[in-house]
A = this chain, B = another copy of it.
Amino acid sequence: MFTIKRINVEAGENTIILNSTDAYEMGLRSMDRVKVSSKKHSITAIVELSDTLLKPKEIGLLHTAFISLKEKEGSSVEVVPAPRPTSIDYIKKKMNNFELTYDEILRIIKDIVNKNLSDIELSAYVSAVYTRGMSIRETKDLTLAMIETGDTIDFDYEKIFDFHSIGGVPGNKVTLLIVPIVAATGLIIPKTSSRAISSPCGTADIFEVLANVSFTAEEIKHLAEKVGGTIAWGGGVNIAPADDIIIRAEYPLAIDPYSQVIASVMAKKKAAGVNRLVLDIPVGPHTKVESIDLAKKYSRDFITIGDELGMRVKCAITYGGQPVGRAVGPALEACEALAALENKKVPNSVLEKSIGLAGMILEMAEVPPGKGREKAKDILCSGKALDKLKEIIDAQGGNPDVSSESVQVGKYSQDVTSDRDGYVDSINNKSIIKVARTAGAPKIKGAGIMIHKKKGMKVDTDEPIYTVYADNKLKLEEAVKIGNRLRPILIEGMLLETIASTDKLIMYD
């Protein structure tokens, strides 16, 4: 029998630590598996070794394992070697370039969700999917396995609409326009979004300026059925939980395995009860999808997988070469979105992208082909979308009397001006993100950047090209300094000819 010692360190998986001598006697090595049993419960855990942390016959339980076993420190447990998860054989099968069956994929995803795989094994999985790829059948099965291993929402309505952007472009506040436009026509659109991870703000961060965004699956269903739409944070819901764990392993390697991207998006949407989906695929130098050809391939495969799942899918390949609109940062973006709904003057890219995507959704309902954009524009211009957004804000516990004037942006701001006459040659999304994050976004809601000059526009010497917002002087100075070093907006004075580039939106059905 072993005595439990609690090791107050979080670990993704069920990890336990054994004294090296005990482990040696039991023939156990680092990353072998053991079954740990108390009188009431038992868990399977990954073994780590320590020479110093534990006395012989002590077992160290890291946070996750301690919680799973439900025993007190100092109580006795039995520890016996356990076989490796069979999913490791299937991961190896994929490494060896063989196709996996549904059962094999399900076993892998179950072990991922149940935290039965170590970082080494998890990384081998994402590496294998990245290097070997998956067939359409495997991708569909992966999608089904990710649905199977989490919660699902069943709506009491036949058609549930949604849209999703694959990878982000800074300033992409279009959700705040699309959801109310669609919901205003009587359709149901239970949109869940992520918070910013490495970007200065996700849709959940923006909408949090105006209302609560943390809801359970049940609450999202209730809200969507009541007011037609939600703008909620997806992270509070146990839908396709494998995704977060897989992303954790992809992040350090900076890889986005193609089939995993498709399965993750489709699993989340299908599990959330969606059956009419518009996908926005921004293409540009620093976006997830860097070429039109790849975007087309994604589009075809998303549509195919949608067919398999009984979900109608349309894809829009959109221009991701510079930020959407001019505002970047939670409050600044909330402001720009409200201004658009209030029919104030806003950048064309915000309106075009929102109306285009909303129109595609409407055409998946009753609106005749080719008439969606016009219908979406009408709803926006009529003020019905603004009313609907206020209804959603109210339902999500926010103040419906908000306006683009009343949203509080950063107290401190500083203009950054051009040192020359010329035209904007390019805007580097990554540098824009860096400056906005340095200013404090997304944590500081009022922090961010307002861009005054976009691609192709003429700039005079000393004219402001962007303004940085922050809530304290130090952060403002830091952000301005980083901006001066990175030059996120490049002015080119030597151009013989400039082509004014307007934001493009290519429909792909």
Binding site for B on A (CB under 8 A): 7-10, 17, 24-25, 27, 29-31, 48-53, 60, 63, 84, 88, 91-92, 95-97, 118-124, 127-128, 130-132, 197-198, 248-249, 251-255, 437, 443
Contacts and interface: CB of A to CB of B under 8 A. Distances in A.
Given A118-B252, A123-B123, A252-B120, A29 B198 contact: yes
Contacts of A121: 123, 252-253
Contact of A53 (B8, B51, B252): B8
A29 B132 contact: no
Nearest to A434: B27
B249 A120 contact: yes
Contact of A17 (B9, B49, B254): B9
Q: How many copies does the complex hold?
A: 2
* Residue among A30, A91, A124, A197 with max Cβ neighbours from chain B (10 Å): A124
Given A30-B248, A127-B127, A197-B29, A253 B9 contact: no
Given A118-B119, A124-B123, A437-B27, A52 B8 contact: yes
Contacts of A53: 8-10
A196 to B, nearest CB: 10
A194 to B, nearest CB: 13
A498 to B, nearest CB: 35
A17 to B, nearest CB: 7
A29 B92 contact: no
Given A24-B443, A132-B131, A437-B27, A92 B252 contact: no
A19 to B, nearest CB: 12
B88 A253 contact: yes
26 contacts: A9-B9, A9-B50, A9-B53, A9-B60, A27-B198, A29-B198, A29-B251, A30-B248, A30-B251, A31-B251, A52-B63, A88-B252, A88-B254, A91-B253, A95-B131, A118-B119, A119-B123, A120-B120, A120-B122, A120-B249, A120-B253, A122-B123, A123-B123, A124-B127, A128-B131, A131-B132
A425 to B, nearest CB: 27
A95 B130 contact: yes
A253 B92 contact: yes
Contacts of A48: 10
A147 to B, nearest CB: 25
A48 B15 CA distance: 15
B124 A253 contact: yes
